[in-house]
Amino acid sequence: MQSRYSMNQKNKKPFLKWILISLGIVVVLAGGVSAYWMSLHNWDIEESLEALSPSEAAVETVEPKEDVSSQEGEAPMPEEPQSPIESEKPAEPESAEKPETPPAEDPPASEEGKAPEQEETPPAKEQPVKDATIYQDNLKLPAQPTIINNVVIANKQHPLPQSYAPGESKEARAAFEAMRAEALKAKIDLTAFSTYRDFARQKVLYDGYVAKDGQQAADRYSARPGYSEHQTGLAFDIGETGQEQHWASATFGDTKGGKWLMDNAHRYGFILRYPEGAEKITGYMHESWHYRYVGKEMAADVYAKGVTLEEYLGIY
């Protein structure tokens, strides 16, 4: 029993020793914390004591933190006093507006999604309205003619080289003579009063029309040099002998010869090149007298489909 008691007495001594050591550590730590606190306040005791007051200390210390938190978007300090919270309230509506902003941006975004559709539609509509009567700016005469499906193209969008001078097509001339022979049976004396014209000849003609009617009017019925289909040697201006008053005139289409050509020219390889109502496609007003040789097969196809050469070749 004694031994047990003495054992307890012996054990108490180290226990007290540890209590004293712990107290010493607490004192040292408290002193260190106090010293650190005073060091934060310029070693001034009053300032350090005032800093312990929650209301005033928070105002001083939190305000700079608020700027940082508002800039960095950090969560507000939990123990912040009322004044910083009130000053932060303006920031809360800002963050609240942010969710509102995307919905406000959504309608414009959807409108932007619709806008391209509306913008894409006009170009699609403008394509058929493409005006082939207008010469392209700065379009120079090419070194080679445009040939599609073995057809030499000559219009305001596809000019010919200035040096392109094939002369009148013998094949086209032969086809015309055969056609003329048949028309004579119906007492229609066809004549081709203008066929091949080279660049220089077209220039003289065009310049004369411009001087007479002005360029805007001349561009409707005459081609600028390099742009005339007559330079291909495959275009035939057709009239009737003895009916010169209808030559190169809209009235030719109402004559017996003009109507006969409309119904039969395709059988000889000729197509009415500038039909009525196709000025925006062909580039020229209706010319009842201007026929273009393309060969019997193609002429019959173009006639059956009732399209222009541009549409038939897919260049409009």
Binding site for Zn ion (CB under 5 A): 237, 290
Q: Taking the complex as a whole, how short is the minimal distance between the CB of residue 241 and Zn ion, in angstroms?
A: 18
Q: Taking the complex as a whole, how short is the minimal distance between the CB of residue 249 and Zn ion, in angstroms?
A: 12
For Zn ion, which is the closer residue by CB, 69 or 231?
231
Q: Taking the complex as a whole, how short is the minimal distance between the CB of residue 216 and Zn ion, in angstroms?
A: 19
For Zn ion, which is the closer residue by CB, 284 or 316?
284
For Zn ion, which is the closer residue by CB, 87 or 249?
249
Residues in the chain: 316
Question: Which distant-in-sequence residues (6+ apart) come within 8 Å of 132 by Cβ?
Answer: 155, 156, 157, 279, 280, 281, 282, 283, 310, 316
> To which residue do tokens 């196709």 refer?
278
| Terminal Cα distance for the chain, rounded | 123
Please count the helices (runs of H) and the strands (runs of E) in the chain: 12, 6
301 — alpha (psi -120 to 50), left (phi > 0) or beta? alpha
For Zn ion, which is the closer residue by CB, 84 or 239?
239
DSSP 169: -
Contact status, residue 193 vs residue 247, Cβ threshold 8 Å:
yes
Q: Taking the complex as a whole, how short is the minimal distance between the CB of residue 193 and Zn ion, in angstroms?
A: 10
For Zn ion, which is the closer residue by CB, 65 or 180?
180
Q: Taking the complex as a whole, how short is the minimal distance between the CB of residue 113 and Zn ion, in angstroms?
A: 50
CA dist., res. 233 & res. 173, Å (int) = 9
Helix (H, G, I), strand (E, B) or coil at 194: strand
State which amino acid sits at residue 235: A
Q: Taking the complex as a whole, how short is the minimal distance between the CB of residue 297 and Zn ion, in angstroms?
A: 23
CA dist., res. 7 & res. 298, Å (int) = 129
For Zn ion, which is the closer residue by CB, 66 or 270?
270
Find the residue with minimal CB distance to Zn ion.
290
